[in-house]
Structure 1
Amino acid sequence: MAVLASKSTRIIVDENISWRLKKLLSSWDILPVNEITAQERLSDFKIWQFAKANDYSILTFDEDFWELQNLYSFPPKIIWLRIGNVNTQAIANLLLKYEESIIHFINDDNLGVYELYL
């Protein structure tokens, strides 16, 4: 698929999503949380701060990031997977299915949360 983005489409993958997603979506700029720092487990707020400072969106299953966005607005943008317990390949397939919409979401300064359902 052609790159449609005018802004960065960098995505931090929350710890509850496998780092293997990076391999399945090799054309995406994905940073698993565990690659940010090896020394400590990062709190959601520290992940939020890192994403904001480094122009990342956050891919997550957790509503915690939505709550942070309600408190502090955006960026960072949240891609919220509302899909239950599925394997990494199913997540990759879902993201690829909606890739164009996700890119448009990231580039729209008026939107902060993109929810994906199965």
Structure 2
Amino acid sequence: MKLLLDENLSDRIIRSVIDLYPGSEHVKTVNLMHTDDAVIWEYARAYDFVIVSKDSDFHQRSLLHGHPPKVWMVLIIR
């Protein structure tokens, strides 16, 4: 499984998860920063990524369109 981290998550996270999820990327490294969610969605679907985001937009899109791609939501507790 490969993760595609959304721009609302730090690109430094990749270093922490790359051993567990080889091939994972951040939208920054694949030139998708400040890109419409639909483009990121299609990129993830085309290249078999699981989208990881703390933004509910991708979760809502998954309810509307189903998967692939799968979406993981990150919950930040403060």
Q: TM-score, length-normalised on structure 1?
A: 0.59
1:71 aligns with 2:46: no
**Gapped regions of structure 2 (runs ≥ 5):** none
Deviations 1:6-55 (A, max 9, x none): xxx011000011110111223023200011117x6211111101001111
Superposed, which structure 2 residues align to 1:1-118 within 5 Å? 9-27=1-19, 28-29=21-22, 30-37=24-31, 41-84=34-77
| Cα-Cα RMSD | 1.6
Q: Which residue type is aligned with residue 12 of structure 1?
A: L
Runs of 4+, deviation exceeding 4 Å: none
Identity %: 28
Which segment is superposed worse, 23-32 or 51-60?
Answer: 23-32
**Gapped regions of structure 1 (runs ≥ 5):** 1-8, 86-118
Deviations 1:67-104 (A, max 9, x none): 1112211010011012246xxxxxxxxxxxxxxxxxxx
Higher helix residue share: 1
